[in-house]
Chain A
Amino acid sequence: MGVTLAFLRRDWRIWMSYRAAVFQHYLGLVLLVVLVYVLGSNFAGDLAPETLLLRTPEGVDVPRQSGDYVAFALVGLALTDMFLSGLTSIPKALRNAQFSGTMEAVLLTPIKESELLAGSAVFPFLQSLARATLLLTFGFVFLGYWQGANFAIMPLIFVPGFLSLAAVGLASSAFTLILKQGDPVSLGYAALSTILGGTLFPTNALPDWLQPVVFTLPLTHALSGMRLAFAGAPLAAVVPQLLILWSLTLVLLPVSYLFFRWSLRHVRKKGSLGYY
C-alpha cells in the first residue's frame, strides 16, 4: 500500500506542477458537458426513445425511464473514460518512464511487478474517477437523470469490466516494454472500443456485420451492464454481462500478467530495459 501511495503522491505532484494543463483539463471537461447537453437536447432528442436504451447487445429489454440521448452520452463518456484508464494507463506510464529515463531507477528498487503495475495505474484511474463523478453528478443533480438507478449492482459490473480492460492493457504494456513504439494493442484498441463499444451511440445501431466485433469488446458489455444499472435494472438483468465480463477477466488477466512478466524478463535479458 505504501508503494502505491508513493506512486500516487508522485503523479499528483507532477500533475499539479503543470498548472496550465490542470486548468485546461477541467475547462475541457466543462466544455464537453456543455457540448453534449446542447447537441443532445437539440439534435438527438428524437432518436433516443426508440433506439438508445431499449435493447442491449445481449438482447435484454431495458425500461425507458432514463432514455434520452444526453443521459446516454454522459454515462458513455464517463464510464468509457474510467474503463479505458485500465487499458491505457499502465502502458502509458511505462512509456513515460522509458522516455524520462526513470524505468531502470525504479526497477533497481525491490519493487514487485504487481506494485509497479498498481502504482502506475492508480493516479490515472483516480483522475478518470474524478472526471466521471463530475459528469455523472451533473446529470444526476442538474438534469435529474438516473434517479431510480440501482447503485448496489454497479460495482459488480464495474470491477470485471475494469479488470478485463486492464488485462488488455497489461498485454499492451508487455508490447510497450519490448517494442517501445508501435504497440499493436494500444494502436487501435482504445479507439475501436470507444467507437464500437457503445460510448456515444448504441451498439444495436451498428450494421449486422460489425456485431461479432462489437460482441468481443469488453467495453460493450461493461457499458451495457452499467447502463442497465443506471436505468434501475435488477441484478438478474445484468447476469449475461457479468458472465461475459468475468469470463473475459479470468481468461485474459492471468495470460496477460504472464506475458508481462515474460516481457520484463525478455528486456532484462536483451538489455533494452532503459531504451526508448
Chain B
Amino acid sequence: MTDAVVEARGLVKRYQMPWTWPNLWRPRPEHLALDGVGLVVRRGEIFGLLGPNGAGKTTLLRLLVGLLLPDEGTAVVNGMDVVRAGRRVRASIGVVYGDERSFFWRLSVRENLRFYARLFGVSEQSRIDELVELVGLAEAADMPMHSYSSGMRQRAAIARGLINDPSLIFMDEPTRSLDPVGAQELRRLISERVASGRTVVFATNLMHEAEALCDRLMLIDHGHELITGTVQDFRDRVTTDVVYQLVLEGNGTCSPEELQAIPGIRNAEVEQTEQGAFRVTLVLSGEAAALPAAIRHLMDHTLEIVSCARQDPSLDELFQEIVRLRRLEMAEVN
C-alpha cells in the first residue's frame, strides 16, 4: 500500500518477569505483551489504539517509536525500518506521552522546549513561542514546571510532541489530566493537523473520544489484535441486528408477542411511560426490512408514532462486547 505511513507485521514482545525464590536457577518466566500484532496506518488518517488496561497499547506505541525493540516482527514508519533507521524515524515523528516526569522541573516550559528543540535541530525561538501559544501556556511559559498542574504539564507534552512539526504524531492517552476544555481543544488541534495532511496514531481508553476522532481503530486485548476497522466494522463484528426505538401515543394497545410474530423482528419490548405513552424497542435482523411492517402494525392498532430512532450500540458497548466474546473464546480454548 503506497500511502501507508506505518506498516507493522507480526510484532511480538515478551517481557521477562522478575526472578522469584526458589526458582533463581530456572529460566525467568516471560509475559507475552504483544503476540504477532500487525497494522497499517494510512497517510492523513487518525488511527486509534483501544484496549483494556494492560492490553498492549503502550507497548505497541513504544515499539513503533523505537523506544522498545521487538522480539519478532518488523515495523516501518515513514518508509524506514524502526530498528535499523531509528534516528531518522525519530527525526520524522512526534511523540506525546503522558509521563509528567519527562520534563526538567526546575526549568520553565520555554527552557524545556528550547532544550528538546535543539535535540531535534530546531533553533528558531519563534517556533517555541508559537507552540506555547498553541497549547495555551503563553502566560505561564516562564514559570518553572514544578509549579505546573498535571494538565499544564500535559499541554507542555503536547507542545514538545509537535516541536519538529512532524508529519506523523504518536500520542499515548493525550487527553489524560486535561480538563474538558483542554481535551476539546486538543481534539480540535488533532483534527486541524490531520486536515493539513498529518497522520495521528493514538492510544486511548476514552471511547467517546475515539469514536468522535478516529477514522479507523484497532482493538487489542492480551497482546492480540481483536479487530481493526471503522466503528461500523466493529458493529458488524458484534451483531448484524439493528435496534430501533419508537415512542407511540394513542388509545390502542401494543403487545410484544404480536410484534415478534412479524418476520424479521427478532425481539420486541414494550414499556409504558408514566405519561401513558408506549416505548417500543425492536431488534430487527439484517437491514431492518421489517421496520415498515412493524410501523404499519402499530398504526393499525390506533397508535400514533411520536418518534422513531435507530439505536446503534456505542463504541463503549462494542468494546465491552468484543472483549467479552474474546475472553469467552479464550476460556473455552483453555
Instruction: Label chain A's interface by main secondary structure.
Output: helix
A2 at the interface (CB under 8 A from B): yes
Pick the most buried of A10, A105, A111, A269: most chain B CB atoms within 10 A of its CB: A105
Interface string of A192-219 (1 = CB under 8 A from B): 0000000000000000000000000000
Pick the most buried of A13, A106, A265: most chain B CB atoms within 10 A of its CB: A13
Name B87's contact: one of A7, A105, A110 (CB within 8 Å).
A110
Task: Kindly provide the distance from the CB of B103 to the nearest chain A CB, expressed in whole angstroms.
Answer: 7
Q: Which of A25-33, A96-104, A155-163 sits within the interface?
A: A96-104
Q: With A13-B107, A110-B88, A271-B15 in contact, is A104–B68 under 8 Å at CB? A: no
Contact between B91 and A9, CB atoms less than 8 A apart: no
Contact between A101 and B106, CB atoms less than 8 A apart: no
Task: Kindly provide the distance from the CB of A39 to the nearest chain B CB, expressed in whole angstroms.
Answer: 37
Contact between B69 and A105, CB atoms less than 8 A apart: no
Report the bound CA distance from A100 to B106 in whole Å. Answer: 11
Contact between B118 and A6, CB atoms less than 8 A apart: yes
Pick the most buried of A104, A108, A111: most chain B CB atoms within 10 A of its CB: A108
Report the bound CA distance from A268 to B82 in whole Å. Answer: 12
Contact between B121 and A102, CB atoms less than 8 A apart: no
Task: Kindly provide the distance from the CB of A92 to the nearest chain B CB, expressed in whole angstroms.
Answer: 16
Residues of A with C-beta under 8 A to B19:
none
Report the bound CA distance from A105 to B304 in whole Å. Answer: 63
B243 at the interface (CB under 8 A from A): no
B90 at the interface (CB under 8 A from A): yes
A25-73 interface (Cβ within 8 A of B): none
Residue of B nearest to A17 (CB): B106
Residue of A nearest to B62 (CB): A271
Chain B interface residue bracket vs A = 35 or more
Q: With A2-B118, A6-B118, A109-B90 in contact, is A273–B67 under 8 Å at CB? A: yes
Contact between A109 and B102, CB atoms less than 8 A apart: no
Residue of A nearest to B118 (CB): A6
B141 at the interface (CB under 8 A from A): no
Report the bound CA distance from A10 to B145 in whole Å. Answer: 14
Contact between B104 and A100, CB atoms less than 8 A apart: yes
B52 at the interface (CB under 8 A from A): no
Residues of A with C-beta under 8 A to B99:
101, 104-105, 274
Contact between B67 and A14, CB atoms less than 8 A apart: no
Report the bound CA distance from A109 to B163 in whole Å. Answer: 10
A191 at the interface (CB under 8 A from B): no
A5 at the interface (CB under 8 A from B): yes
B306 at the interface (CB under 8 A from A): no
Residues of A with C-beta under 8 A to B71:
269
Contact between A100 and B118, CB atoms less than 8 A apart: no
Interface string of B117-131 (1 = CB under 8 A from A): 011110100000000
Interface string of A82-114 (1 = CB under 8 A from B): 000000000000000000111011111111100
Q: With A107-B67, A111-B119, A268-B68 in contact, is A101–B90 under 8 Å at CB? A: no
Pick the most buried of A18, A101, A106, A112: most chain B CB atoms within 10 A of its CB: A101
Residues of B with C-beta under 8 A to A2:
118, 121, 123
Task: Kindly provide the distance from the CB of B20 to the nearest chain A CB, expressed in whole angstroms.
Answer: 18
Contact between B106 and A109, CB atoms less than 8 A apart: no
Interface string of B79-113 (1 = CB under 8 A from A): 00000000110110001000111111111000100
The 5 lowest CB-CB distance pairs between A and B, nearest first, are: A101-B101, A6-B118, A109-B119, A110-B91, A105-B102
Listed in ascending order, the chain B residues whose CB lies under 8 Å from chain A are: 13, 15-16, 59, 62, 65-69, 71, 87-88, 90-91, 95, 99-107, 111, 114-116, 118-121, 123, 144, 160
Listed in ascending order, the chain A residues whose CB lies under 8 Å from chain B are: 2-3, 5-7, 9-10, 13-14, 17-18, 100-102, 104-112, 265, 268-271, 273-274
